[in-house]
Amino acid sequence: MHGAQDPGLFRKPKVESRKPNRAAIVAAFLGACGPAAAPAPGSQGSTLRPPEGSPVAGPADTHCDGKPPRAVDPGQCMSGSHAGGGPYYGDTLFNSAGMDDDCKYLVGFQASTLQQDRDVIFQVTLNAAADGLPVVGADVRARVFLSPTHDGPHTVQAPAVQAPGVYSAGPVRFDAPGRWTVRFHFFPDCDDGETSPHGHAAFFLDVP
């Protein structure tokens, strides 16, 4: 694992043999999934609003560059068998888009208002690295933590599907300011393995 798938009126497009330009795809995701711009001062009246957090800007994700995308096999879920062993977690990513730890999925996300002591919902977009198609049935969950010993407060998450390959995950809560990590889990009921659908990706968040 990585070091942490008719003739008729319309014809299929011709597939080029070149590898997909992942940097361009991630850049497109960043444009679509980046945080919304803050309103101009005074544009919403004089009511003061608490400061909002955001994903942490930084170098683009390149950990899958030069590696073939990993196709998954839904038949390799093996839920409860523990055949895949424990999970391997890669580096936490900057920005709001990147590849998952095992180069199976392209992940992008947006968040509702990132503030302390309020419910936060993530909108997560998931596409297969092998063919770029939306990933369905992923049952996306989110875990947030400030440090290895400081998890976010317990919440009852209610994951939902918004569209093919688009999920809501959460709610989660932040109980202190600082640089948090959100780790998304895909197909969480499957064991972690090279061709299992199970996957995960983590991103930095600054919470004021």
CATH number at residue 182: 2.60.40.10
Question: Does the residue 8 lie in any domain?
Answer: no
Instruction: Strand 54-55: give its sheet, edge to edge.
Output: 54-55, 199-207, 178-186, 141-147, 150-151
Please report the pLDDT score of residue 33 as a whole number. 52
Question: Does the residue 6 lie in any domain?
Answer: no
Question: Does the residue 151 lie in any domain?
Answer: yes
Please report the pLDDT score of residue 146 as a whole number. 98
Please report the pLDDT score of residue 134 as a whole number. 97
Domain span including residue 116: 53-207
Please report the pLDDT score of residue 47 as a whole number. 58
The candidate with the shortest Cα–Cα distance to 96, out of 56, 136, 151, is 56
Mean residue pLDDT across the chain: 81
Please report the pLDDT score of residue 38 as a whole number. 40
Please report the pLDDT score of residue 80 as a whole number. 52
Segments in the chain below pLDDT 50? 1-19, 30, 35-46, 81-84
Please report the pLDDT score of residue 97 as a whole number. 97
pTM of the predicted model as reported, rounded to 2 decimal places: 0.76
Question: Does the residue 91 lie in any domain?
Answer: yes
Q: What is the count of structural domains for the chain?
A: 1
Please report the pLDDT score of residue 27 as a whole number. 53
The token pair that represents 100 in the structure block:
């998952």
Please report the pLDDT score of residue 186 as a whole number. 96
Question: Does the residue 79 lie in any domain?
Answer: yes
Element (H, E) at 26: helix 22-33
At residue 111, what are phi and psi to the nearest 5 degrees?
A: -130, 145
